[in-house]
Structure 1
Amino acid sequence: MKLRTTLAALLATAALSSAAFAECELTLKSSDTHPDGYPTVAAVQKMGEMLKERSGGRICIDVFHSAQLGEEKDTIEQTKFGVIDLNRVSMGPFNNEIEETKVVSLPFIFRSVDHMHKVMDGDIGAEIAAAFEPHGFVALAFYDGGSRSFYNSKKPITSIEDLAGMKVRVMQSDVFVDMMTALGANATPMPYGEVYSGIQTGVIDGAENNWPSFESSGHYEVAGYYTLNEHLIVPEVLVMSKVSWDKLSPEDQELVRAAARESMPINRELWAAREKESEDKVRAAGVQVIDNIDKTPFIEAMVPVYEKHANTPKLQDLVTRIQAVE
């Protein structure tokens, strides 16, 4: 059923993009849940420009933004089968399939965005990227996803106690569900596209995300409290279907990989600018921002989450090595 739905979406949008990419021998379909202009979308579009130029116009990328091809969980499945060629997705939905992604999804595993960059740009990042391939994906780039914080429609969250009993949307990941449980909240896995109406109708009280997502989704219109506790700094990943990858020549594989690598600093620059722009817009809209919170109790509450999900010598070693990166 999911495959038929995705195929229908592809057919419906094919006519719109066929003219723009008619001169290309190969047009790679790329999916993103975020809207046009979002830093991850713009980075893949820029990657496409580089790839088209360097391939002499042979290879193009058609970016389907705004969840045109489906929500992340569904597009990941279709990417594995080669229905979608490229996919920019959050790390969370991979947690239950690729164990290494659980570690970089752990709350407070990264001390800062700079720390995350150093880890993902080095040997550890390469190791995590390699873990995707046995599962049908080629990890091409790690993008910034900012720091995620809590927002809700009920009250300011100034302590763990304020989260007690609150219904909070999380990505469909056991790590995120257990994080919320450890904080005393009721985790509610839900597709990203349903969060606005979920808050508006009271199905959930709130969610957690970064400044640009909070703003671009319009969630700030229905959730008037944003707490800067920055519990997650999770890199996002651009993956290519192994099915699609194996159809490329070694030379074209290197063209794709190089363009993806060079899109990373573009994403970071765009992200920093967009983050500031989104924060300013949210504050100007009257959202109450709680930015003097003590993170220590939140960090201490994560001990059982680490014990459960970094539960093998391999994953425990990965945690230790990430924390040791200066």
Structure 2
Amino acid sequence: MKHFFKLMSFRKILSIIFVGTWLLFNLSCASNSDEKILFFAHSLPTSHPVHKGIVAMQESLNEKSGGKLQIKIFPDGQLGSERETIELLQIGSIAMTKVSASALSNFAPEYKITVIPYLFRDSDHLFKNLEGEVGEQLLASGTEYLLRGVCFYDAGARSFYTKDAPVNSPDDLDGLKLRVQNDQMSVDMANTLGASATPMAFGELYTALQQNVVDGAENNIPSFVSSNHFEVCKYYIFDEHTMVPDVVIIGTKFWDSLSEEEKVWLEEAADESVAKQKQYWKETVDENMKMLKEKGIEFIYPDKAPFVEKSRPVMERLLEDPQLRPIIEKINAN
């Protein structure tokens, strides 16, 4: 097995102790019960539309199973960052998590394609692929790493936002230190476009922006708002360089422990939550855009053609990978 059992942080050790203690307590209380509880940890606040999608899954699963199979949610980074929750899942301390597809590219290489700039033409093109053969292949690709994909959630388009300088073309990115997610594909994307990529945990970003450690970042509108980064950054640039979905994953240890009936309950609950989450996403973006305009955030809609052209080497490099080329070509042809 690859990419885990590394030196654990003190925070992660505390998370494992906490989860283990809670689990032992609840198992002792439910020793005469047929109930199963799946611990689901993620890093987003409860106001986020992705969290609302997870709650929809939780409610649907409880109804379908008659309470026999339940989800207990630990939101807001209570049990660690995205990478930490993935590693907790791999060692069996939690059952499920939600992470950006880019975070999974550190574990399952096929997910690299989700961070290729301008690979997906729009939201319809994205979900046409994610809800077809391409999506099935990606969700299955992490099983070697004990990570089984369950479904994809809408995470919109990611765009740059900056503190002091508007960005109207890739040339305006030169010299800007921009936070990106902690994966090589995100670093390559930002560097290729001309910025100085600075990977760091999302929870550290607000302070980094305040203290001028970075000049800006890139993310979707709901995350820009829920993180309060709009308090520091006054320019949001709709270059929409990537459309990186969120992925709900379950540890293969927990998946394999479920009966066939329980697996059907979980898959049906996940599918139902996807439709609801897309609606929550749209409603949240509309509300956020209105609020940001009232707060005086300047929206910039640059010509995307120069961004597309300058970022092209990222796709060209991945097309040289015999494992990824067929997936990219299938998406381009779809």
TM range (shorter): over 0.9
Aligned residue for 1:30, secondary structure, equals strand
Question: What is the aligned counterpart of 2:136 among 112, 126, 144?
Answer: 126
Separation in 1 of the partners of 2:158 and 2:303? 16
Q: CA deviation at 1:311?
A: 2.5
| Equivalent residue, structure 1, for 2:244 | 234
Q: Percent identity?
A: 36
* AA at the equivalent of 1:60: Q
* AA at the equivalent of 2:195: A
Separation in 1 of the partners of 2:104 and 2:47? 25
1:280 and 2:287 equivalent? no
Q: CA deviation at 1:29?
A: 0.9
Aligned residue for 1:124, secondary structure, equals helix
The 3 A distance-change label for structure 1 pair 71 and 58 is: same
* AA at the equivalent of 2:189: M
| Equivalent residue, structure 2, for 1:264 | 274
**In the TM superposition, what whole-angstrom CA distance separates every residue of 1:213-241 from its partner, at most 9, and x where no partner exists?**
00010000011111000001111100001
Tell me if structure 2 keeps the 8 A contact 1:153–1:206. yes
Question: What is the aligned counterpart of 2:145 among 132, 135, 141?
Answer: 135
Question: What is the aligned counterpart of 2:77 among 67, 72, 75?
Answer: 67
Aligned residue for 2:324, secondary structure, equals helix
Separation in 2 of the partners of 1:24 and 1:91? 34
Tell me if structure 2 keeps the 8 A contact 1:103–1:310. no
Separation in 1 of the partners of 2:304 and 2:320? 24
1:55 and 2:82 equivalent? no
Separation in 2 of the partners of 1:5 and 1:322? 42
Aligned residue for 1:187, secondary structure, equals strand
Separation in 1 of the partners of 2:47 and 2:97? 16
* AA at the equivalent of 2:333: A
Tell me if structure 2 keeps the 8 A contact 1:182–1:305. yes
The 3 A distance-change label for structure 1 pair 226 and 9 is: farther
> Over the residues paired in the alignment, what is the CA RMSD in angstroms?
1.8
1:5 and 2:51 equivalent? no
* AA at the equivalent of 2:325: Q
| Equivalent residue, structure 2, for 1:314 | 323
- Of residues 238-247 and 300-309 in structure 1, the stretch that sits farther from structure 2 once superposed is 300-309
What aligned pairs does 1:70-109 form with structure 2 within 5 A after superposition? Answer: 70-109=80-119
| Equivalent residue, structure 1, for 2:232 | 222
Aligned residue for 1:44, secondary structure, equals helix
Separation in 2 of the partners of 1:251 and 1:28? 15
* AA at the equivalent of 2:39: K
The 3 A distance-change label for structure 1 pair 303 and 30 is: same
Separation in 1 of the partners of 2:17 and 2:217? 31
1:301 and 2:293 equivalent? no
Aligned residue for 1:302, secondary structure, equals helix
| Equivalent residue, structure 2, for 1:208 | 218
* AA at the equivalent of 2:157: S
Separation in 2 of the partners of 1:316 and 1:188? 28
1:196 and 2:214 equivalent? no
Q: CA deviation at 1:139?
A: 0.6
Structure 1: which 5+ residue stretches go unaligned?
none
Q: CA deviation at 1:309?
A: 2.9
The alignment covers a number of residue pairs equal to 320
Structure 2: which 5+ residue stretches go unaligned?
1-7
Aligned residue for 2:257, secondary structure, equals coil
Q: CA deviation at 1:11?
A: 6.4
Tell me if structure 2 keeps the 8 A contact 1:175–1:309. no
Aligned residue for 1:184, secondary structure, equals coil
Aligned residue for 1:70, secondary structure, equals coil
Q: CA deviation at 1:8?
A: 4.0
Tell me if structure 1 keeps the 8 A contact 2:97–2:250. yes
